[in-house]
Structure 1
């Protein structure tokens, strides 16, 4: 039986109402198809090594090349935006050198938990209504969500490669529902960046080799979250007190003047994560780290990487009062922690005191990376 236009419009309206009822800020629909252009851009990104140590991107390249590889029977994607805006100025937060700055998106409960439950409720309702199979995605599958969201009309990928919306700026998560149902799609969004390059110019580490290109190896978000080893000394000073992620390129975008802080997400934001003191963070052992970041996206990077980041912030703080905390970490079991404790001390104490420490400690150091820090700091 042919589906009437009124039936299609009624379904689209119902999807929008369901999405709004779950707290989503926007919803758009796109017909699923192969996208050779995006596949080629992904190939170039990986070929140039811009994915850094994220080997899983290369391993899943074939599946990322087209959404239909994930599920050939799928016909339609429903793409939704979940606002995570806060009434906080990302640049003002950087001025308090004695605190660590955590990216806005991570100030509340893990976004996977925050969004996935909502998506599943909408998806189950849609399955019941259409009698068609569904799948839900929230950054947990090899799916190129941002290009798909642009094709759906949710926004466009700006020069910083993040999605930008005329209505809600850049502060939002993307959730996706695949369905076998045929649903009338929305029009794709066009690029509205124009000549603006605010996001490119603000980047502390020059992570954009060209507009619309990101070299993750230079990106503070990658370095503080995805990168497991020692962080190159070339980027440490530029990191400032950013200890988990970086909001600079998003915050610089003029389209964020249209973004409204989400009341729901503001209520869930944890006060103790808005400006945590470095002295307190440096004292965290594994048990304390897990307790502080229960149900947080931060928990997945583990205590050692997190303390590594906090030590870099300590080294940039100019606060000699942190020296006892940093000194205590020179004997930490994790090499990435010991190495950054060395670097932080080299910036917080005078050369004679540091030279004495080097003479006392370096000969007993077994890790090559930590020894290099003693030699070069």
Structure 2
């Protein structure tokens, strides 16, 4: 179906309205020319900063050339959806966790964002199709070789911060991104300027110094990578730096001044489940695999599996020794896992007990 310039402009405006009705905070449109970042992305890969994330290099030029990933693509509808379960006081609450509390990234405490955004983006695409007839499209949410931040930045949803996350003057960085690659030549939105200035708060706060330079992260050092993407043992020298962060890390976002503007979610999918905003590690460490699967059904945390869940908890419990060395409840919880069938779990438990001055 061929649409003239005015019809395309009207459709773009309508897409904004539909997106808001579906719970998105903002939608903007960009072309798909990412040639300006191809060299930087390849340099990042060549440096090995992607670690075990082989998928980052597995698709050749498709990651920076959306029209090769989905032939016929000429535009991307880039959308953001806020995920804070509450607005006022959220940063102060995150800074009050005790040493035996399991710190889980805010985005992972509710329903799996992949499912939420994908479903709603699909509904948006279907609304467009109902209005204009069949067109070429494909929906993505952190699930394919798509440079989400680069496309969102080009669309004007924000700018890439020094921690490499997208930042918005209106909403900070506490939001998810999703895209619809389309074959409709919709009018594009303008990009916005950079607004980090001389600030280095995110770089300074990073517990493992994973932000090796402004706009450059060595994923192999990042707590989110270590607790989520890494399949094997966490390097011993990095374990003390992880603290009680058992799934992901929000430190760079907590320190960012722009997140004083972070907005609460418009949908209830990201409401906290199972008390994961203030759960004790000994409680979560005691979950059997069946309990882990049942309690975290529909959660993004489930993807790491029970073995890595226990690995992460063991590190957190070991680090609790900084202020709770020899705590009877923690030591007993760790000792109960000494016979776990996983060698990796046992090794991390032995390390954790050593932090408490207890021989396995």
Describe the shift of the 1:268–1:92 C-alpha distance in structure 2 as closer, same or farther (beyond 3 A): closer
Does the residue aligned with 1:187 lie in a helix, a strand or coil?
coil
Q: Which residue of 207, 229, 234 maps to 2:232?
A: 229
Describe the shift of the 1:2–1:232 C-alpha distance in structure 2 as closer, same or farther (beyond 3 A): closer
Give the TM-score, by structure 2 length: 0.93
| 1:244-303 superposed Cα distances (whole Å, 9 cap, x missing partner) | 000011121111111122253477321521111111111122111101111100001000
Asked whether 1:16 is paired with 2:24, we answer: no
Does the residue aligned with 2:79 lie in a helix, a strand or coil?
strand
Give 1:202's aligned residue. 205
Q: Which residue of 330, 335, 350 maps to 1:342?
A: 350
1: CA distance, partners of 2:232 / 2:9: 52
Report which of the two has the higher share of helix: 1
Deviates more, 1:56-65 or 1:266-275: 266-275
| 1:204-263 superposed Cα distances (whole Å, 9 cap, x missing partner) | 000011100000000000000000111111211111110000001112111111112225
Structure 2: gaps (5+ residues): none
Equivalent pair of 2:85/2:271 in contact (CA under 8 Å): no
2: CA distance, partners of 1:304 / 1:267: 25
Describe the shift of the 1:327–1:271 C-alpha distance in structure 2 as closer, same or farther (beyond 3 A): closer
Give 1:178's aligned residue. 181
Give 1:326's aligned residue. 334
Q: Which residue of 258, 261, 282 maps to 2:261?
A: 258
Describe the shift of the 1:90–1:145 C-alpha distance in structure 2 as closer, same or farther (beyond 3 A): farther
1: CA distance, partners of 2:115 / 2:5: 36
Equivalent pair of 1:90/1:251 in contact (CA under 8 Å): no
Describe the shift of the 1:153–1:53 C-alpha distance in structure 2 as closer, same or farther (beyond 3 A): same
Give 1:137's aligned residue. 140
Give the TM-score, by structure 1 length: 0.89
2: CA distance, partners of 1:55 / 1:183: 34
1: CA distance, partners of 2:176 / 2:92: 18
2: CA distance, partners of 1:72 / 1:263: 33
1:94 positional shift: 5.8
1:311 positional shift: 0.6
Equivalent pair of 1:81/1:173 in contact (CA under 8 Å): yes
Deviates more, 1:61-70 or 1:1-10: 1-10
Equivalent pair of 2:108/2:300 in contact (CA under 8 Å): yes
Structure 1 stretches of at least 4 aligned residues deviating more than 4 Å after TM superposition: 1-5
Deviates more, 1:85-94 or 1:280-289: 85-94
Structure 1: gaps (5+ residues): 358-377
Task: Give the alignment's Cα RMSD to 1 decimal.
Answer: 1.7
Tell me: higher relative CO, structure 1 or 2? Use CA pairs within 8 A at least 6 residues apart.
2
